Amino acid sequence: PEIFGAAARGITAALVAAFLAAFAEPVVNRWLVSRSSLSGAVDVSTGVMVSSFRVAVVANMVKYPTFEIINTMVHITFPSERLRGILSGFLFCTLTLPVTNFRFRKSMNWDITMPSLYEAYLPTLVRDIVYSSCRDVLGSMLTRSLESDTALSKACVFGLTVWCSCIASSPANEWRGYTLQ
Boundaries of domain holding 152:
2-180
Mean pLDDT of all residues in 97-108: 88
- The domain tally of the chain equals 1
Is residue 70 within 8 A of residue 91, CB to CB? The reply is yes
Q: State the pTM of this model.
A: 0.83
Cα dihedral 32/33/34/40 (nearest 10): -30
Tell me the pLDDT tens digit for each residue of 29-41. Answer: 777 766 778 777 7
Confidence of residue 168 (pLDDT cuts 50, 70, 90): very high
- Going by C-beta distance under 8 Å and a sequence separation of 6 or more, which residues neighbour residue 5? 72
68 has a pLDDT exceeding 80? yes
> What is the predicted pLDDT for the residue at 44?
77
The Cβ of residue 97 has, within 10 Å, a number of other Cβ atoms equal to: 19
Q: Which whole-number Å values give the CA distances from 85 to 67, 116, 138, 139, 148, in the listed order?
A: 11, 26, 11, 12, 22
Sign of the CA dihedral with 136 first, then 142, 148, and 151 last? negative
Where does the pLDDT of residue 143 fall: very low under 50, low under 70, confident under 90, or very high at 90 and above? confident
Taking the C-alpha atoms of residue 78 and residue 93, their distance in angstroms, rounded to an integer, is: 19
